[in-house]
Chains A and B, each alone.
Chain A
């Protein structure tokens, strides 16, 4: 696996992630101090069992502040695992996840929940819970044991529901919603946490086309309108291209390439990471990705 990075573009963008290379030197950090990454993974090693191969092996990744960053890659490339590492669901075996330059391990769980919202892939809520009550649970990290709901709690809830645009569903039971509506309600719950960064794990999977597009628009507006940092794992690379400012392509637990989607998504990437012969064209509506067919993999290359 050979990284397809051109060093010139790297320096231009001021982004320091390199696949599987050593730690970021202090010089690198200094040169990009004016554009500090909101979330940064440094030499991050993530594994589920100590005996297994690490799923993410020593990666250094930056997530720019206020932008939408998409993690893409084939199944098993470690994108969801990486997200779990960033959300502190999985303790790193080695390396660090930094939030505003501070290791997330030094935050308390509630402190972290006020900074970082997470939307899991599979969500379950009691059927008889109303949307408003679901969203209200997003205030959990802001309240102590016997605190009552304050005005600022209600403001956050109203804001979250408005931002996602599900005011009309407010009093409906979650069990009666469609898949897309349910997903929006969950996003509103995460928003009610008032996090400054939000992590979403394949939020468009299982949704119909209309709701997929709606969801991408909501994600886009979080960055554009409220300046939230968004990290989203996406299965579908055309969706990723459509929604993100910054794209990280993963292959076998390592960063293959990262940067603006127009620079990263090439026919070469599609072939090497996804194993798909693709025609990539930049048109008036952005990048167009036309998969043509599967590429026969030659096994010798991997070793």
Chain B
């Protein structure tokens, strides 16, 4: 009898799947939707706190009056001036603080969170390593070094910082991969190679401070290397949005390749994939994503490690669902961390990178303790 119910259940499942299989979105299930909705709620909630509170006291009602101020929202010219820069003198000081400081800061956190999470998720599949992230693989330190070099030595080229960040990140990643390569790589070798490259690049960064005479530049450089969102404005958003769109589209398009890469190099090849080309292309997407966030926010560690891991434990390892989950959980984590960084100690702001490090370090430890087979994905 049990066999019969089994058979029936199977046919039922079969029928359900057939219904779902017609569309492109059969892989979206309740868990993923719930995760996305919950993350969105956290992001909006933390964003609301971020916008409402701060050193310059604006009353809560006044803040929300400003946010939903028809003079801004319903005026295309004002919105245009905000986003693309322009004359905003007609706005009040309170309005300016909310619209040019607090709201952009939340938005930058959202985009940086997306990019870091995507980057980590891609690196984890490409290296088949649960411990991979732009931070661990040296991409962040490479990008950071490039940024610092630009600031310290080629000050005139500050406009090209994102480009240099991407180049530095790519260089560091290839270095790490080359060091770890021994007829193939293993998770532990990759992490060790990442530590080596990060240490060297970190020393170079510290060394560079001695060549910077201007104290302002030192502070700016320090902000880069610890990772901060303070001072973010619409120009950062203009910088990161195009790259975010690009990396989101490319990574979602590459989700199936990522899934197949997870089955191992031999299997991927036997399924007809050009493994090296796919790895190279997907790594490039991940490097661009990481470098774009380094370029606007400096080096923020651990987001790219933790977020894909959290999402994986909730939605499973299907990269279509995983990447979508990352796009929601990444922003949630970073916006919350930034609220803590900005508001936890009244009167002074911590760089958000310190917060994510404080959250991420113990999480890394937990991963180490929990997994018998360190890092194998």
In the bound complex, CA of A89 to CA of B376 (Å): 23
> Are B317 and A126 in contact, CB atoms less than 8 angstroms apart?
yes
In the bound complex, CA of A119 to CA of B273 (Å): 15
Mark contacts of B260-277 with chain A using CB atoms, 8 A cut-off: 1 yes-contact digit, 0 otherwise. 101110110111111000
Chain A residues with Cβ under 8 A from B377's Cβ? Answer: 126
> Are A109 and B273 in contact, CB atoms less than 8 angstroms apart?
yes
Mark contacts of A145-159 with chain B using CB atoms, 8 A cut-off: 1 yes-contact digit, 0 otherwise. 110110100100010
In the bound complex, CA of A130 to CA of B27 (Å): 12
Question: Which chain A residues in 23-81 approach chain B with CB under 8 Å?
Answer: none
The stretch of B10-18, B76-84, B151-159 that contacts the partner chain: B10-18
Interface residues on B, range: 20 to 34
- Which of B253, B269, B270, B317 is in CB contact (< 8 Å) with A145? B253
> What is the minimal beta-carbon distance from A292 to any residue of chain B, in angstroms?
38
A13 at the interface (CB under 8 A from B): no
A10 at the interface (CB under 8 A from B): no
Q: Which residue of A lies closest to B313 (CB)?
A: A128
Chain A residues with Cβ under 8 A from B263's Cβ? Answer: 123-125, 134, 137
Q: Which residue of A lies closest to B10 (CB)?
A: A167
A224 at the interface (CB under 8 A from B): no
A-B contact pairs, 16 of them (CB 8 A): A109-B269, A113-B272, A116-B270, A120-B267, A120-B270, A122-B264, A126-B317, A128-B316, A128-B317, A129-B316, A137-B263, A141-B271, A148-B21, A149-B26, A170-B10, A171-B13
In the bound complex, CA of A126 to CA of B228 (Å): 35
A253 at the interface (CB under 8 A from B): no
- Which of B21, B266, B274 is in CB contact (< 8 Å) with A89? B266
- Which of B13, B266, B312 is in CB contact (< 8 Å) with A120? B266
> Are B256 and A140 in contact, CB atoms less than 8 angstroms apart?
yes
In the bound complex, CA of A167 to CA of B267 (Å): 22
In the bound complex, CA of A134 to CA of B26 (Å): 16
B207 at the interface (CB under 8 A from A): no
Chain B residues with Cβ under 8 A from A89's Cβ? Answer: 266, 269-270
- Which of A113, A125, A130, A148 is in CB contact (< 8 Å) with B270? A113
B23 at the interface (CB under 8 A from A): yes
Chain B residues at the A interface, C-beta cutoff of 8 Å: 6, 10, 13-14, 17-18, 21-24, 26, 128, 253, 256, 259-260, 262-264, 266-267, 269-274, 312, 316-318, 376-377
> What is the minimal beta-carbon distance from B44 to any residue of chain A, in angstroms?
29
Known: A118-B266, A124-B376. 10 other contacts (CB 8 A): A108-B272, A124-B264, A129-B316, A140-B256, A140-B260, A149-B21, A154-B21, A158-B14, A167-B10, A193-B271
Chain B residues with Cβ under 8 A from A145's Cβ? Answer: 253, 256
> What is the minimal beta-carbon distance from B115 to any residue of chain A, in angstroms?
23
> Are B271 and A138 in contact, CB atoms less than 8 angstroms apart?
yes
- Which of B18, B264, B270, B273 is in CB contact (< 8 Å) with A154? B18
Chain B residues with Cβ under 8 A from A151's Cβ? Answer: 21
Chain A residues with Cβ under 8 A from B266's Cβ? Answer: 89, 118, 120
Question: Provided the pairs A148-B23, A149-B21, A154-B21 are in contact, do residues A123 and B264 lie with their beta carbons within 8 angstroms?
Answer: yes
Mark contacts of A99-111 with chain B using CB atoms, 8 A cut-off: 1 yes-contact digit, 0 otherwise. 0000000001111
In the bound complex, CA of A120 to CA of B268 (Å): 11
Question: Provided the pairs A128-B312, A149-B26, A167-B10 are in contact, do residues A137 and B273 lie with their beta carbons within 8 angstroms?
Answer: no
Q: Which residue of A lies closest to B128 (CB)?
A: A124
> Are B318 and A129 in contact, CB atoms less than 8 angstroms apart?
yes
Chain A residues with Cβ under 8 A from B18's Cβ? Answer: 154
Interface centre among B23, B24, B259, B270 (most CB of A within 10 A): B270
> What is the minimal beta-carbon distance from B345 to any residue of chain A, in angstroms?
39
Q: Which residue of A lies closest to B22 (CB)?
A: A148
Interface centre among B253, B267, B273 (most CB of A within 10 A): B267
> Are A126 and B262 in contact, CB atoms less than 8 angstroms apart?
yes
- Which of A123, A129, A168 is in CB contact (< 8 Å) with B267? A123
Chain A residues with Cβ under 8 A from B269's Cβ? Answer: 89, 109
Q: Which residue of A lies closest to B262 (CB)?
A: A126
4 smallest beta-carbon distances between A and B, as pairs: A113-B272, A110-B272, A126-B317, A118-B270
A19 at the interface (CB under 8 A from B): no
> What is the minimal beta-carbon distance from B125 to any residue of chain A, in angstroms?
9
In the bound complex, CA of A126 to CA of B321 (Å): 14
- Which of A128, A137, A146 is in CB contact (< 8 Å) with B260? A137
In the bound complex, CA of A146 to CA of B10 (Å): 29
> Are A140 and B317 in contact, CB atoms less than 8 angstroms apart?
no
> Are B256 and A168 in contact, CB atoms less than 8 angstroms apart?
no
A114 at the interface (CB under 8 A from B): yes
A268 at the interface (CB under 8 A from B): no
Q: Which residue of B lies closest to A192 (CB)?
A: B271
